[in-house]
């Protein structure tokens, strides 16, 4: 449902909804008045699917409004899929913090699909200390199979016991230095058993040319891989294709080539 602030009928909260999809229409509210009602807007309970998208992420979102989402998740322990896409397409603002969104009390035993999109980051001191549940995603999301999110959370999922059950991984990474942002996670792929991973999508921002060695490591560590999607240029495209041919059965290679070729054409 597309919504404008304060426009949702109160009857929505009187029925037992299981799936809620909210996407804002044009919201031009410099004073963020509608955000003050976010807690009431998200007053749902026992949802199984939740999708929320806004294009005017508030500069004060983490301090004033993120609690409305964490409260919602605590009221919905039966959630099976979550997709958040919070960004500001006009101004550069502070990103929303994943470790504030998923509190110490967050636990979603049935959640199989989790997508964190838009301007998302983490409070690094808490993450580095190892004190937050995000450091071990398997403890809070034991059923997770499909994950979309920033690079650091994708790395956390591959390091955890979730690696043996992940089926798709969409990785968002920024690249603004000479260091290869994706090299560490590519090594994790090579060293980790990912027996069920069928899809990898790489999305990078900034000046970045994808290294074939990085992709090769991911392919080698994902024996069930059927689909690889990337939007960047690749330094040795033919080399990657040869590596795929040499490491896969004929049936798997065919499916993999179809996905890779279509993706490369779109790029």
Domain of 113: which CATH number? Answer: 3.80.10
Among 110, 144, 178, the domain-final residue is 144
Same domain, yes or no: 261 and 135: no
pLDDT tens string 32-63: 666 777 888 898 999 999 999 988 888 888 88
Nearest to 140 by CA among 50, 188, 74: 74
Question: What integer pLDDT is reported at residue 261 of this predicted model?
Answer: 47
Same domain, yes or no: 265 and 158: yes
Same domain, yes or no: 117 and 167: no
Same domain, yes or no: 131 and 62: yes
Task: Kindly calculate the radius of gyration of the chain based on its CA atoms and give it in whole angstroms.
Answer: 20
Question: What integer pLDDT is reported at residue 112 of this predicted model?
Answer: 98
User: Regarding predicted confidence, which is higher, 191 or 126?
Assistant: 191
Task: Give me the number of domains the chain comprises.
Answer: 2
Length of the chain as a residue count? 267
148 strand-pairing partners: 115, 170
Q: How far apart are the first and last CA of the chain?
A: 31
Same domain, yes or no: 134 and 194: no
Question: What integer pLDDT is reported at residue 54 of this predicted model?
Answer: 87
pLDDT band at 80 (very low <50, low <70, confident <90, very high): very high
Same domain, yes or no: 7 and 128: yes
Q: CA 20 from chain center: how many Å? A: 18
Same domain, yes or no: 151 and 267: yes
Same domain, yes or no: 135 and 49: yes
Question: What integer pLDDT is reported at residue 248 of this predicted model?
Answer: 59
pLDDT band at 115 (very low <50, low <70, confident <90, very high): very high
CA 213 to CA 246: how far, in whole Å? 15
Same domain, yes or no: 95 and 197: no
Of 154-163, 164-173, 241-250, the one with minimum mean pLDDT is 241-250
pLDDT tens string 247-267: 655 555 545 555 554 444 343
Same domain, yes or no: 180 and 253: yes
Domain that holds residue 29: 1-144
Q: Give yes or no for residue 131 having a pLDDT over 80.
A: no
Burial of 178 (0-12, 13-18, 19+ CB in 10 A): exposed
What three-state secondary structure class fits 229? strand
- Say if strands 49-54 and 19-24 run parallel, antiparallel, or are unpaired: parallel
Among 144, 169, 185, the domain-final residue is 144
Mean model confidence pLDDT for the chain: 78
Which helix (H) or strand (E) segment is 158 a member of? helix 151-159
Same domain, yes or no: 136 and 154: no
CA 250 to CA 4: how far, in whole Å? 52
- What is the pTM (predicted TM-score) of this model? 0.83
CA within 13 Å, CB half, 86: 23
User: Regarding predicted confidence, which is higher, 197 or 217?
Assistant: 197
CA 150 to CA 169: how far, in whole Å? 10
Same domain, yes or no: 68 and 3: yes
Instruction: Give 3-state DSSP helix, strand, coil % of the chain, rounded to 5.
Output: 40, 20, 40
Among 144, 169, 203, the domain-final residue is 144
């Amino acid at each position: 449902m597309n919504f404008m602030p304060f426009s949702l009928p109160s009857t929505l909260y009187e029925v037992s909804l299981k799936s809620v999809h909210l996407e804002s229409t044009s919201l031009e509210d410099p004073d963020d008045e509608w955000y003050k009602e976010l807690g009431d807007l998200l007053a749902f309970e026992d949802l199984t699917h939740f999708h929320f998208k806004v294009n005017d992420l508030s500069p004060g979102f983490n301090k004033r409004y993120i609690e409305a989402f964490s409260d919602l998740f605590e009221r919905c322990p039966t959630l099976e899929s979550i997709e958040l896409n919070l960004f500001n397409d006009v101004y550069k603002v502070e990103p929303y913090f994943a470790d504030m969104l998923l509190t110490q009390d967050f636990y979603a035993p049935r959640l199989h699909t989790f997508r964190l999109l838009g301007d998302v980051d983490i409070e690094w001191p808490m993450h580095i200390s190892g004190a937050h549940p995000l450091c071990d995603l398997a403890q809070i999301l034991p059923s997770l199979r499909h994950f979309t999110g920033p690079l650091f959370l994708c790395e956390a999922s591959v390091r955890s016991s979730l690696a043996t059950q992940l089926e798709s991984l969409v990785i968002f990474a920024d690249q603004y230095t000479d260091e290869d942002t994706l090299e560490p996670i590519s090594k994790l792929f090579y060293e980790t058993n990912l027996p069920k991973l069928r899809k990898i999508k790489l999305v990078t921002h900034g000046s970045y040319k994808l290294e074939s060695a990085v992709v090769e490591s991911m392919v080698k560590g994902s024996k069930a891989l059927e689909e690889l999607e990337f939007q960047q240029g690749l330094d040795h495209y033919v080399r990657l294709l040869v590596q795929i041919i040499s490491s896969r059965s004929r049936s798997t290679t065919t499916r993999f080539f179809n996905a890779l070729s279509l993706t490369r054409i779109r790029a």
